[in-house]
């Protein structure tokens, strides 16, 4: 995983858009974004499944499925799904992804600066994007990603597009308050 500020230059969303301003795990954690790198090498004691199970149990992730974001995996929905994924939105549940193959970008809105931070995820990255944070997703130029999705409860994938109404959503308000509490601590 590599994280940096998005350059905001118009062009293909699948390109790096690397501003040269990097950020680190500590800053991402201060925004509520969690990351682990879990080896996919099955020769290592128990394989990746054991480590994912441990993290899932520790954080209360009870359910899981797999998503294959490719033209073959999504079929006729491919273009519309990619477009929807890249619209700025938030969810009322954490977005948890363990990358099995391929790669892509999660862009998160930094609060209070309102700048985009781009997170390039690769195989072995486990990323938690917290409920209430504005974000978006796109593939990179490999045009494919396969990810294990983890959920605290049953999947609830209602995206809430950024708007004044969404700004007052309880999950968004709680997210902002959690940042204010972290800044004081």
Number of domains in the chain: 1
Q: Cα–Cα distance between 90 and 160 in angstroms, integer? A: 5
Say which CATH number the domain at 87 has. Answer: 2.60.120.10
Sequential pLDDT tens for the chain (185 residues): 999 999 999 999 999 999 999 999 999 999 999 999 999 976 656 689 999 999 999 999 999 999 999 999 999 999 999 999 999 999 999 999 999 999 999 999 999 999 999 999 999 999 999 999 999 999 999 999 999 999 998 887 799 999 999 999 999 999 999 998 765 44
pTM above 0.85, yes or no: yes
Range of the domain at 49: 2-184
């Amino acid at each position: 995983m590599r994280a940096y500020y998005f350059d905001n230059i118009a062009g293909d969303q699948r390109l790096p858009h690397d501003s040269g301003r990097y950020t680190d795990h500590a800053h991402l954690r201060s925004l509520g974004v969690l990351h682990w790198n879990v080896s996919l090498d099955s020769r290592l004691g128990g394989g990746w499944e054991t480590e994912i199970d441990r993290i899932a149990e520790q954080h209360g992730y009870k359910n899981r499925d797999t998503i294959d974001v490719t033209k073959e995996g999504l079929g006729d929905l491919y273009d519309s799904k990619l477009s929807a994924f890249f619209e700025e939105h938030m969810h009322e549940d954490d977005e948890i992804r363990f990358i099995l193959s391929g790669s892509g970008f999660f862009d998160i809105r930094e609060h209070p600066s309102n700048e985009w931070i781009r997170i390039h995820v690769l195989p072995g990255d486990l990323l938690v994007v917290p409920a209430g944070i504005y974000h978006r997703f796109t593939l990179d130029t490999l045009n494919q990603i396969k990810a294990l999705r983890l959920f605290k409860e049953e999947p609830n994938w209602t995206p809430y597009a950024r708007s004044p109404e969404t700004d007052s959503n309880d999950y968004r308000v709680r997210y902002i308050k959690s940042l204010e509490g972290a800044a004081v601590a």
